[in-house]
Structure 1
Amino acid sequence: MVETTIRSFRFTLDPTADQEMNLTRHAGAARWAYNWALGHKIAAYDLRRAEISALIESGHTEASAKKATTVRIPSKAAIQKHLNRIKGDSRRHLPEPQAYGPHPPCPWWHEVSTHAFQSAMTDCDTAWDNWVKSVAGKRAGPRVGMPRFKRKGRARDSFRLYGIGLRLDGYRRISLPRIGSVRLHDSARRLGRLITRGIATIKNVTVTRRGSRWYACVLTEVTDASPPTRARRAGGTVGVDLGVRWLITLSRPLDPAVPDSDTTPNPRWIERDARRLRKAHRRFSRTVRGSQRRRRAARALGAIHARVAERRAGHLHRLTKRITTTFDVIGLERFDLVRASASARGTVEQPGTNVGVKSRFNRLLRDAALGETRRQIDYKARRYGSTVVHLAPGTPTNAICSSCAWENPPPRLGTDRFACGKCGLRVRRAVNSARNIERLTHRSVHVAPDTEETRNARGVVSSDASPAPNATTGKREGPQGSPRRSNPSVTGSTPVESETATSAGIPITR
């Protein structure tokens, strides 16, 4: 089956000094264009709110005042059209400011590619729409705040280019409009072969600086007709348990010849560079704000954080690719990472307990990047043809015995061993959870033809063995629908989660 997917390839750039200066100039132009567009939107929004308030005071209702107002939030097209009229041109002789009027905002626009301006304004439109939809309750996920201005030195240097000038010059160079042919630190052989075969087409390139390095993320449209491998089809179903002590625990080994390949310890990347980070933070704190020494210390500190992020990302990419190419069905347990990493400090009236222990746990939880691990498994499963099933939150996978399905009391916090009170099974708690996730995933995909159908992460309709949320509970369940401890069929009571999210708010019309 031929399927067209969007795939990105990231390469490390090795620019010359002049090219690096040109990249910095493009990033500054994109940041300026974003702030310019955001300033116009905020000004129009404030004017719109003032006019609506005046109409309400004059007797209008809130709904009629929003319809009667004439102020609209300008879009990217209107902002860019206005900028083109007043931007000026430094290549021409300009009269004195008194005769000409205000200074033109960006007479240097011809020094950079126009795509840097346009893509930044498009990003501003996207950020504004996300905020409006989040306030109106039309956007899933956590609440999105109002867009903020990008400050030089704090915002990440980044810009996006697109057009016919984007191409690969062999396997070690990439051609960027208005910048030229930039050498790549690594090889682009995989992408080059896909383009030569006519399978991939370059859509745009996003250039970003992290630490002291520049990276190019090439977004391509790939037409993939490769069938799933025999080894992946033979891999069957696997349960994946994510945690802090053990980053990933599988219900079966990745390599049958290596029994210990079912667990991957958490590398704890931040702790590996903790000494360097402490020294870099001390040097930075001893500098004077605005000095050159402070800028050098900030660059050194950012380079360490960038190296930690690159090591973490590379480790996760290698691990998630091996999982998605080895197994056919992957079961994941969904849980709220934001709530799990919340502070235990409490309030002045009700202070929290074990604040130091919880703080260290939160630091390790964020360093493990469990949300990024789930995201990579999701999109790589779609790429390689695997199926991902997300179990509903609150599934007691760590309390159910994977051998006899007996529901044991919840384990104490920090306990690494699981001991069943009925059959006497003693294993690591993560291993027991992974086995339960595999069994629930298998039942969700292959069992219960007489219940309503749900969609898994790939959009494939699969039967769910669990009853509907409003269905009448069976006689073997407790009064609140929770299974009793003597119920060995508890594994069939967990539904596949459906992605829904609602929030309340006041809509803002455009």
Structure 2
Amino acid sequence: MQRLQSFRYELRPNGQQACQMRCFAGACRFVFNKALALQQERHAAGEKRFTYAQLCQTLTAWKKQPELLWLNDAPSQPLQQALKNLERAYTNFFEKRAAFPRFKKKGQSESIRYPQGVRLDQTNGRIFLPKLGWVRLRLSRPVLGTIKNVTVRLRAGKWFVSIQTEREVAAPVPQATNAIGIDMGIARFATFSDGDFLAPLNSFKRHQVRLARYQRRMSRKVKFSNNWKKEKAKVQQLHTRIANCRQDFLHKATAAISQNHALVCIEDLQVGNMSKSAQGSKDKPGKNVKAKSGLNRSIMDQGWYEFRRQLTYKLEWSGGMLVAVPPHHTSQTCPHCGHISPDNRRTQAQFLCVQCGYQNHADVVGAMNILERGLRLLACGEDVSRAKVARPKRAASAKQEPAEATRAQHDAGTGAVGIPVLWDGEDVTVPPS
């Protein structure tokens, strides 16, 4: 099977190469913005939008204009890739995957992409880039496979190169044989169906006070002055540190899960909808805006979508499988009797079934239900969005009294009692959890 994989390294250019890369990135940004303005002009005039091939022909004409001759100093392929990025942005907009393309600003997302013409010397730790020559890099691990494309990106004052490769690998065979369900949360980052959990890192929350201090300092400086640029560099470096800590945590967590499990069931969470602002409009202001903004900040700090993305491809590499199930009522459904009620979860952490008296941590209950839904969905393709768990019927004589006794003992803090049920025609007692 073919495997696409990316390797990222830090570049170590000299002063001239760093200056050239900034100029090349600026040329790519200029071409992107000029092409976007041209597309908007044609749309305003009622004309059809240019295709990628027509934009490439327009780029050739731009290079011949006297005031744009400096575009010839930049490599041709990165400029064409900027036009391809614009075409992809329009495609994502029309397919409702992203917002309308916007103009790029200087200092934001400075990048260059080379689809070909790149050579890598792993022995001497250097890479050849067109019109830049050989550039040194910190080769922390060997590059495997054939190079498909190379992207050079500026991040917090440092240049990085991402090398995408393609290689043939054998079909993976999973080493583990067990399955697990995962419930995502704020207090607990990931709770597993076997009772274990991962504590959240909260990278942004740990650095929030320092970040606010740096931002206040930057706001007091004259904009675009040298002192303002110094403070801005500190803010960028701290944001980079926050992102690196989050990525390191997610990579370690997903690697451990994918190596120890053959089947992982998670909730199909719509993170974008969950983290939408509740501010509302001037005519219809939102409710509990401050609390909702804090919740949105915590959700984005956890990195749920990135966790799912990494877990998907790492399970594919290890031969495992990821199943996403609907999240409806996963924390309100009793895994023992299948009763669904909001009263089952009185607090954020405690679950107590009002019908059978089963109690456990609410996140563990959610993970157990997620695992069961995933198994049912994988086994027979069943629609489990509104399904109840299949459990044996309880004895008629033990319908209300045990639950009432359990509720009374739970409120008094004395624990739960055994629950008599009917299992295969025999009366058995389920011990408390």
Task: Please state which band the TM-score falls in when normalised by the shorter chain.
Answer: 0.7 to 0.9
2:254 is aligned, of 320, 324, 335, to: 320
- What residue number does 2:221 align with? 287
1:145 is aligned, of 80, 99, 102, to: 99
* Worse-matched range after superposition: 111-120 or 351-360: 351-360
For each residue in 1:309-338, what CA deviation from the matched residue of structure 2 results, as whole angstroms up to 9, or x when unmatched?
111112111211221222111111112223
* Other structure's SS at 1:208 match: strand
1:403 is aligned, of 336, 345, 353, to: 336
1:246 is aligned, of 188, 209, 233, to: 188
Separation in 1, partners of 2:66, 2:33: 16
- What residue number does 2:120 align with? 167
- What residue number does 2:11 align with? 13
Q: 5 Å matches for 1:187-202?
A: 187-189=140-142, 191=143, 194=144, 200-202=145-147
Task: Call closer, same or farther: CA 1:178–1:264 in 2, change over 3 Å.
Answer: same
- What residue number does 1:79 align with? 55
Q: 1:370 Cα deviation (Å)?
A: 0.8
- What residue number does 1:309 align with? 243
- What residue number does 2:160 align with? 215
Q: In the alignment, is the contact (CA less than 8 A) between 1:335 and 1:393 conserved in 2?
A: yes
Q: In the alignment, is the contact (CA less than 8 A) between 1:333 and 1:437 conserved in 2?
A: yes
- What residue number does 1:45 align with? 43
Q: 1:84 Cα deviation (Å)?
A: 2.1
Q: 1:407 Cα deviation (Å)?
A: 2.5
* Other structure's SS at 1:13 match: strand
Q: 1:108 Cα deviation (Å)?
A: 2.1
- What residue number does 1:503 align with? none
- The answer to whether 1:121 aligns with 2:83 is yes
Separation in 1, partners of 2:41, 2:346: 51
- What residue number does 2:402 align with? none
Q: 1:242 Cα deviation (Å)?
A: 1.1
Identity between Structure 1 and Structure 2 (%) = 29
Q: In the alignment, is the contact (CA less than 8 A) between 1:166 and 1:204 conserved in 2?
A: no
Task: Give the residue type in structure 1 aligned to 2:126.
Answer: R
Q: In the alignment, is the contact (CA less than 8 A) between 1:241 and 1:249 conserved in 2?
A: yes
- What residue number does 1:106 align with? 68
RCO comparison, higher one (Cα < 8 Å, 6+) = 1
Structure 1 unmatched runs, 5+: 49-70, 89-102, 195-199, 254-261, 447-462, 470-480, 491-510
Q: 1:118 Cα deviation (Å)?
A: 1.0
Task: Give the residue type in structure 2 aligned to 1:107.
Answer: L
Task: Give the residue type in structure 2 aligned to 1:307.
Answer: R
Separation in 1, partners of 2:279, 2:60: 52
**TM-score, length basis structure 2:** 0.83
Q: 1:119 Cα deviation (Å)?
A: 0.6
Give the total of aligned pairs. Answer: 393
- What residue number does 1:452 align with? none
Q: In the alignment, is the contact (CA less than 8 A) between 1:161 and 1:205 conserved in 2?
A: yes
- The answer to whether 1:464 aligns with 2:397 is no
Give the alignment's Cα RMSD to 1 decimal: 2.6
- What residue number does 1:61 align with? none
Q: 1:283 Cα deviation (Å)?
A: 1.0
Q: 1:14 Cα deviation (Å)?
A: 2.5
2:232 is aligned, of 276, 285, 298, to: 298
Task: Call closer, same or farther: CA 1:215–1:338 in 2, change over 3 Å.
Answer: same
Task: Give the residue type in structure 2 aligned to 1:25.
Answer: C
* Other structure's SS at 2:161 match: strand
* Other structure's SS at 2:351 match: strand
Structure 2 unmatched runs, 5+: 394-433
Separation in 2, partners of 1:465, 1:247: 28
Task: Give the residue type in structure 1 aligned to 2:28.
Answer: A
- What residue number does 2:427 align with? none
